[in-house]
Amino acid sequence: MSRIKKHFNPATAVALIALVFAATGVSFAATGGGGGASNKNTHSLTASVAKSKSKTGPRGPKGATGAAGKNGVNGTNGAPGATGPAGSAGPAGPAGLTGKEGKEGRAGKNGEGEQGEAGPEGSPWTDGGTLPTQTKEGKPASETGAWKLELPPDTPENQNSFEEDHRWATFSFPIPLSAPLEEAHGRYITVKAQTETPRTGPAATECPGTAAAPSAAPGTFCVYEGAAREMLGEETTLPNAEHPQVPVFVNSSFHNLAGPIEEAQQDIGTAGTMGLFEYGGPVLVETYGTWAVTAP
């Protein structure tokens, strides 16, 4: 009943009345009732019904929205699209944390390379281990060294003693000479001779060096005086006004180191030599310097 009320409106009422009249008129005509007058009324009613039936009623109000229909069946998947172009490279990410130190690898096998060629002979050591006559550059081969000697003061007890007034200085050659040098080839160059201008004698030809830069001509042994100083007190340099005496080298006094001093040869031995100094001063002194020897 509520559904009929919901859909009943003026348009449906008019249609219902027309339907009733149409049904009544048809029934009345079929029974032949009413005679001529009835036929006239019947036609009039029919025309009236038809006329009222031809009129369109006003538009009714919008009906309520019907219930939602069921979802349709899903369509089939479309074909995959073409691969798009590659994108540009993104920025580098931050550096990762340093990994833990790996375990030490196994030791590799020892190589077995070919033996290299023998190197050149070292200098100055040559066959026999003696000082060669020339260096690799063709220059005379020399060796140098330093020396020092202490001399005691002269006292009343030893004024006439040779042993107390004289001392031997030793000069050892790290590289032996191939043969001894005659004593005449040994020279002692004083500080005065080193500073003379121009230099003369052996200081100019055989021993042209200095205590700071000793040198010797081939076949020559040169001893350079450096300085002498008092050993006690203020250790002042000699000579001075108070102590004018200094140790003096005794010329022609080079002796070979081989054997006792009494039997020593007066020459410059292959391993070195000794030189005699004389001193008669009142204080303990020290004298020192350098030397050079060049193979003949």
Asked if residue 76 belongs to a domain, the reply is no
Query: What is the per-residue pLDDT for 265?
Result: 74
Do 24 and 42 form a contact (C-beta atoms < 8 A)? Answer: no
> Residue 26: which pLDDT band, with cuts at 50, 70 and 90?
very low
pLDDT in tens, 143-201: 999 999 998 887 766 566 666 778 889 999 999 999 999 999 999 999 999 999 999 99
Stretch (H or E) spanning 71: none
Residue 167 sits in the same domain as residue 272: yes
pLDDT in tens, 223-234: 999 998 887 766
In the chain, how many domains are there? Answer: 2
Asked if residue 86 belongs to a domain, the reply is no
Residue 164 sits in the same domain as residue 23: no
Asked if residue 127 belongs to a domain, the reply is no
Backbone phi and psi for residue 163, each to the nearest 5 degrees, phi listed first = -65, -35
β-pairing, 255-256 vs 166-172, is unpaired
pLDDT in tens, 192-214: 999 999 999 999 999 999 999 99
Residue 48 sits in the same domain as residue 154: no
Asked if residue 75 belongs to a domain, the reply is no
Residue 265 sits in the same domain as residue 148: yes
Residue 148 sits in the same domain as residue 289: yes
Q: Between 103 and 241, where is the model more confident?
A: 103
Peptide bond into 239 cis (omega under 30): yes
CA geometry: angle at 171 spanning 132 and 148, to 5°? 140
* Span 24-52, average pLDDT: 46
Asked if residue 282 belongs to a domain, the reply is yes
CA-CA-CA-CA dihedral for 186, 189, 194, 199, to nearest 10? -60
Asked if residue 89 belongs to a domain, the reply is no
Domain boundary (36, 54, 72) is at 54
Domain boundary (33, 54, 75) is at 54
pLDDT in tens, 84-107: 898 888 898 898 888 888 888 888
Asked if residue 110 belongs to a domain, the reply is no
Residue 43 sits in the same domain as residue 147: no
CA 291 remoteness from chain centre:
46
Work out the percent of the chain whose per-residue pLDDT is above 70.
71
Asked if residue 247 belongs to a domain, the reply is yes
Domain boundary (54, 74, 93) is at 54
Residue 147 sits in the same domain as residue 285: yes
> Residue 54: which pLDDT band, with cuts at 50, 70 and 90?
low
Domain that holds residue 213: 142-294
pLDDT in tens, 280-289: 888 888 999 9
> Residue 34: which pLDDT band, with cuts at 50, 70 and 90?
very low
